[in-house]
Amino acid sequence: MSRPTIIAGNWKLNPPRIDGNRLLEEVAEGLSAREFWPESLEVFLIPPLPYLGEWLVRGVSPPIAIGAQHCSPEGWGAFTGEVGVPVLADFGVKMILVGHSERRQRYCETDISVGVRVGRVVAAGVRPCLCVGETEAERDAHETFDVIERQLSAGLESVSADDEIVVAYEPVWAIGTGRSATPQQAAEVHRAIRSSLARQFGVQRADRTAILYGGSVNPGNASGLLAEPDIDGALVGGSSLVAGDFLGIIDRAIETRRGGPAVSK
C-alpha cells in the first residue's frame, strides 16, 4: 500500500485578503522549516475564489497545492455566478471539493449533481475530493453506512479505476461543532468506504485512494485519528485558519508517518 497523507485546509468564506496572504506565508514558512518526505505529504489550501487567481499566478511551492471549494456541474456557457472545472483546471487548481455537506444542505446539491461534478473534475484531469457523511439523525437511526454507500455510488458514477480521486468522510454533526468523531467511529466508516471502493474499482485502486477525515480536527485530536490505518489525512475547516493549529495538525501527520516526533531543519 502506498498512498500520500493529505492535509487540506478549507477556508470557506474566510479570511480578509491581508490575513489570508499572511496565513499562506506562515504555512509555507512553517513547512519549509520542517523535515518530511515530500512525496509522502500533500498540503492543500482551499481558499475563496479570488485568492486562487492571486496565488496561482504568483505560484506556490510543494508540498502546498491549491484547491477549489466548488465547481459548476456545467463546463462552459451562460451560468452567471458559477465557476467551471475547465477554467479552474486551466489556472492550475489541483483538487476540487465536491459534495461538501454545506453545499448539499444550503445550495441544494443532490447526489446526482454531485456525481456530475465529480465526472467533470476527473475528465479535466483534476482530483475531486468527494465529501460524504451522515447527519446526526441518520447516525442515530443507524443509517450511517447506507447514507455513505448511497453518496459514494452516486458520487463516483462517472469515475473509472484509472481516475485519481480523494474521498473525505465528514460526519455532518462533527463539522464546525468542536465535536469530532472518535478515532473508532471514523475508522469503521473509513473501512466501509475502502471496501466500497474495492467493490467498485478493485482492491489495488482502493488501496491507493486517500480517504480523509473531516470534522473538528485540531492539533489535540489529530494524532488519534491519523493513527488509524484507513485515515489518510484530514480535511480541516476552522483549524486551518490559524497557522499554528494547521501546522500542528501537519506535525501530527508527519509524526504518524515517521513513527517519531516532527523535527525542524
Residues that bind ligand PEP (CB under 6 A): 10, 170, 175-176, 214-217, 235-239
- Of 42, 109, 138, 170, which is the active-site residue? 170
Q: Sign of torsion, CA 161 139 101 242?
A: negative
Is the preceding peptide bond at 219 cis, omega within 30 degrees of 0? Answer: no
CA-angle at 55, arms to 52 and 58, nearest 5°: 140
Q: Which residue is nearest to ligand PEP (CB)?
A: 237
How far apart are alpha carbons 17 and 206 in whole angstroms?
A: 39
Q: Which is nearer to ligand PEP, 167 or 235 (CB)?
A: 235
Q: Which is nearer to ligand PEP, 216 or 256 (CB)?
A: 216
Q: How far is the CB of 60 from ligand PEP (least distance, A)?
A: 21
Are the C-beta atoms of 5 and 26 separated by less than 8 Å?
A: no
Report the candidate in 127, 118, 190, 181 with the shortest Cα–Cα distance to residue 155: 118
Q: How far is the CB of 57 from ligand PEP (least distance, A)?
A: 26
Residue 39 known to be catalytic: no
Q: How far is the CB of 195 from ligand PEP (least distance, A)?
A: 23
Q: How far is the CB of 234 from ligand PEP (least distance, A)?
A: 8
Q: Which is nearer to ligand PEP, 151 or 216 (CB)?
A: 216
Residue 100 known to be catalytic: yes
How far apart are alpha carbons 47 and 44 in whole angstroms?
A: 10
Are the C-beta atoms of 13 and 238 separated by less than 8 Å?
A: no
Q: Which is nearer to ligand PEP, 169 or 201 (CB)?
A: 169
So which residues are the catalytic ones?
Answer: 100, 170
